[in-house]
A and B are shown apart, each in its own frame.
Chain A
């Protein structure tokens, strides 16, 4: 028991060191711009088809499912407002983060842990390249930047999916739809969406890199790393979602 607690505390210490090292390295030159761009391409552009399709389906299905309960008291004209609030405040960042942790998180975890297993990271260090900067910082920066961008796409495409779902039953112009959409959200909602996406992006990159970087040696370590990268990312994303909702609930009345 005491040993377990000891291990847990040691893990926390390592996590803290890793985090501190990231922040130290991210602001200190030299910057690996080319590698960051490459990672952005991998994380953002390569995930775009999957995530945008998911966003569209979420918007479409969510609208379709919400219709009956609004129809019950004849308030289907409120669908745009409902979708707007649901997608901008919650769904867009969350869906993006979940899909990205599945696609990007597992990729990062597997990549880094296999590098670890094949001792490429050690070799990199020997050859004079800072592996932490080259591998970790670039990936975490890439996810932190790309997840918000993906999230904007998801929000836009999700709303469009919702619009298509509405027009399948009702007659509604796109202009009228977006007027209602933006009427029902506030500036703070957009701000919260960006905040969430940034936090989720950082979380996915950080958790996946950490798991991959410290994976155990051996072939099975790659599988475990890939798996736990996804599980840890998703889990932490949900916990952060919970915390951010609480925080925004506290901040919103103070700002508006």
Chain B
């Protein structure tokens, strides 16, 4: 074999060797990444709907890839058995009571199964375990919720639109507040008077403060009232006396009542006078008669003055009256 041929073989051998290394490295890296060569624990979970989960998809626990989906098969109507391989080195952290839920590794990412929860007290998962499966918030549910929210939002915004239109139009309290100048002016004045009231109130409060300070100092009636037991005793006495007085007053009022009741009756003089219309008429007649009698008497008296028997008496009285007037002068 010549030297050049030897060199050629060497180059070809090296070339092929490196090429194969690339292939083998690729296979090994991929194999370890997809746990083709690591020891696995096989567990299963049952789902009603696997939402496009595929064999080879990842299994996550706390967001860390711990295995892959090995098999998906129907077990019955709406019952899909999902077998997964969990890496043995990670299985010690996964408990028997974890819940397998369907998820996605991104908004548009691959479907995954994520293992959730697990009580540290329960033993770790073992080969052949059946995991509980939990409902997950799927894309469709999220979309449904979004749709509902959207409808609600549109209702809310339309209500707001109505509301704001009414505000602009000046309907309702807020609208009136915003658009009516009168109300604004009124408000301004009321705020001003409020201000005044507040300042008055301030003064009043200051006075009150002064008063309470006085109360706190050991002077004044209220202090005595609140602190002096003697005053209280005499007050109680006074109250008792007042009670007696009111009782007497009560009796008095009762008597008065009786009297007035009597007045209403006709079996006594005043009662007749006040209550009997007949008696009143008679009295009226009497009074009228008296009137005429006195008038006639007056006439008689005048006639008597001009009578000669009594003329001398009247003249004498006139003279005496004149004499008294002259003496005063």
Contacts and interface: CB of A to CB of B under 8 A. Distances in A.
A194 interface: yes
A82 B41 CA distance: 31
A190 B26 contact: yes
Interface in A182-227: 182-183, 185-187, 190, 194
Given A34-B5, A41-B12, A149-B16, A183 B33 contact: yes
B221 interface: no
A44 B26 contact: no
B218 to A, nearest CB: 82
A38 interface: yes
A182 B19 contact: no
Contact of B23 (A146, A183, A185, A194): A194
Contacts, number: 69
A187 B56 CA distance: 11
A145 B108 contact: no
Contacts of A37: 5, 8-9, 12
Interface string B9-36: 1011001101110110011011101101
A149 B5 contact: no
Contacts of A75: 108
Contacts of B12: 37, 40-41, 44-45
Given A152-B22, A190-B23, A45 B11 contact: yes
Given A34-B5, A187-B36, A190-B30, A155 B22 contact: yes
A75 B31 CA distance: 26
Interface residues of B, number: 24
Given A41-B8, A190-B27, A153 B16 contact: no
Nearest to A34: B5
Contact of A179 (B9, B22, B23, B33): B33
A37 B16 CA distance: 11
A150 interface: yes
A72 to B, nearest CB: 12
B55 interface: yes
Contacts of A155: 22, 26
B50 to A, nearest CB: 16
A73 B27 CA distance: 32
Contacts of A185: 30
Given A156-B22, A187-B27, A187-B30, A34 B1 contact: yes
A37 B12 CA distance: 7
A171 to B, nearest CB: 19
A187 B108 contact: no
B5 A38 contact: yes
Contact of A48 (B5, B15, B30): B15
Interface of B: 1, 5, 8-9, 11-12, 15-16, 18-20, 22-23, 26-27, 29-31, 33-34, 36, 55-56, 108
Given A149-B15, A182-B34, A187-B36, 17 more contacts: A41-B8, A41-B11, A41-B12, A45-B11, A145-B16, A146-B16, A152-B22, A156-B26, A182-B26, A182-B30, A182-B33, A183-B34, A187-B27, A187-B31, A190-B23, A194-B23, A256-B55
23 contacts: A37-B5, A37-B8, A41-B9, A41-B12, A45-B11, A45-B12, A45-B15, A146-B16, A152-B19, A152-B23, A152-B26, A153-B22, A155-B26, A178-B29, A182-B34, A183-B33, A185-B30, A186-B56, A187-B27, A187-B30, A190-B23, A190-B26, A256-B55
Leading 5 A-B pairs by shortest Cβ distance: A149-B19, A182-B30, A152-B22, A152-B19, A40-B12
